[in-house]
Amino acid sequence: MTQNLGLSHHDALEPLLATHPDSLDFLSVRTGSLLDDAAGDDAAPALTERFRVAVHGNYLGLTSADAFDSHRARRLASLADQCVFEWVAERLEAPATPIPDLLDHVVERVERLQDFLGASVLVSNGSGFHNGPASLESSFAFLSALAGRTGCGLLLDLDALCQDAHAIDRPDGNETSSVPSALALSALNLDAVRAVAVSEFVVDGTPSAHAPRDDRVGTLLMQLTAECRRLRGITVGLSPEAIRAIGIDGIVAGLEGMRTALPGRAGVVVLPGATTRQATAAPRPRGYLPGHGRGAPMRLVHCAPEAETPPAASDAPPTSGG
């Protein structure tokens, strides 16, 4: 199956979305102000009528020492029921203050978020996030343990990985490129990787002419798309400047170039516990994201409520219907 390719949504993409909607398989949208008390304009509800939509940037503070924002999680769950997202991703940021037993802390928050959603989430690595000494091995071990304990998937931000590899391997700043080593990748559970994000088009393992630096993201992307057996989608996060510089025709050509260059996979990929019937290995039309049917809610994994004291009414996950 050809890799599912999406773009990170930005207003500068509107001309492309209006004229070439079939050029991409999905959009990745930041929920932004829609989850704030003073909700502002947000494209997610309207876009789901036209495209498959995955969301990120929910700002639920998985590594924050502050209290878990149940109100925000409840609003996200309501939005997910209304809009039918392909997946919900949340980023791990470097903690602003040290948190004892950080893994237990993040596990509890991911489980609570999944209880609200009634679905699995994807957790993304953030640049500078480390559990203990600064090493990609420790970060990958953390992500793998998190996926094992919560059933969440992983979304790998390849630019963040390469930035961290550069900072760790070349602290003097003399080298301009670095990629995670084979040793570091061996600490990562590749079967937990469901999505990958890059900031530029990658063709034949090399970044596009608009890449801000040669960080060999392309090499890493080729390796991961070949080895991550349960990969569901790749998001290209073009900057507004790159969108304007490349233009509509260039973006369409970039997506097609990536589809040609990246290893394809046959069959249907589902998250653990999915109720969707496993289909036989066969090519799917563009726009098909494994484990879903258009109009079916994102119900991939049902997370059982916590076994201990039930949450207070104001803190409880929503009942069916959001």
Q: Which residue has the higher pLDDT, 228 or 2?
A: 228
Task: Give me the numbers of helices (H) and strands (E) for the chain, helices first please.
Answer: 9, 10
Residue 320, pLDDT > 80, answer no
- In the structure, what pLDDT confidence band is assigned to residue 120 with cuts at 50, 70 and 90? very high
- Average pLDDT, whole number, for the chain? 75
Residue 297 confidence (pLDDT): 35
Q: Are 188 and 148 in contact (CB under 8 A)?
A: no
Residue pLDDT, tens place only, 2-37: 579 999 999 899 999 999 999 999 999 988 766 765
Q: Which residue has the higher pLDDT, 290 or 192?
A: 192
Q: Are 66 and 31 in contact (CB under 8 A)?
A: no
- In the structure, what pLDDT confidence band is assigned to residue 133 with cuts at 50, 70 and 90? low
- Tally Cβ neighbours within 10 Å of residue 229: 11
Residue pLDDT, tens place only, 149-187: 999 999 999 888 887 776 665 544 444 446 676 667 888
- Which domains, ranges and CATH numbers included, belong to the chain? 5-315 (3.20.20.150)
- Tally Cβ neighbours within 10 Å of residue 106: 24
Place of tokens 């890449």: 211
- In the structure, what pLDDT confidence band is assigned to residue 271 with cuts at 50, 70 and 90? very low
